[in-house]
Amino acid sequence: MSLLLGDLTGVEAQGKKEYAALPQGAYHCVCQEMEPIVSKTGKNGIKMKFKVASGEHSNRVLFFNFYIGGPTDKVTQITQSTGKAMLVAVKAPAELIAQGDISFIVGKDITIGVKIQPAVGPYAEKNEYSYCKEYIADKEKYTPSSEFGF
């Protein structure tokens, strides 16, 4: 079966659209999806997609990969601490926190703090996960539930 787009003569081909990193700061996000991944070195992990839900950068997308069973126990500890912080921030039931069921956060509002990872070699600067907090619409009542700067 063919899928025809019409005459493409004279149409300019567009490559992958590049986005500049978001400024360092906290963003109201919604976790859109997550999927299991395996790194090039064979580490298991989770790829998470967050969409900025409000503010100047609304509709921008952030991707973060978290790995378990990394080269040191420290990598696993950071990933588990981050997962627990996210579950606490979205008020997950205690039994899901005990199980480490991170899938609960899909579709939930959360504040994600990002920092900038500087450009290295051919790679442009990019956003890096820094911390998460409970999202509270009224900023006057804003209280962080947890913060991990790494």
Q: How far apart are the first and last CA of the chain?
A: 50
Cα torsion 138, 141, 130, 24 to 10°: value is 60
- The reply to whether CATH 2.40.50 applies to domain 27-140 is yes
The CA distance from 126 to 24, in Å, is: 10
pLDDT in tens, 104-124: 999 999 999 999 999 999 999
pLDDT in tens, 27-72: 999 999 999 999 888 888 899 999 999 999 999 999 999 888 765 6
**Band of residue 141 on the pLDDT scale cut at 50, 70, 90:** very low
Tell me the whole-structure pTM to 2 decimals: 0.78
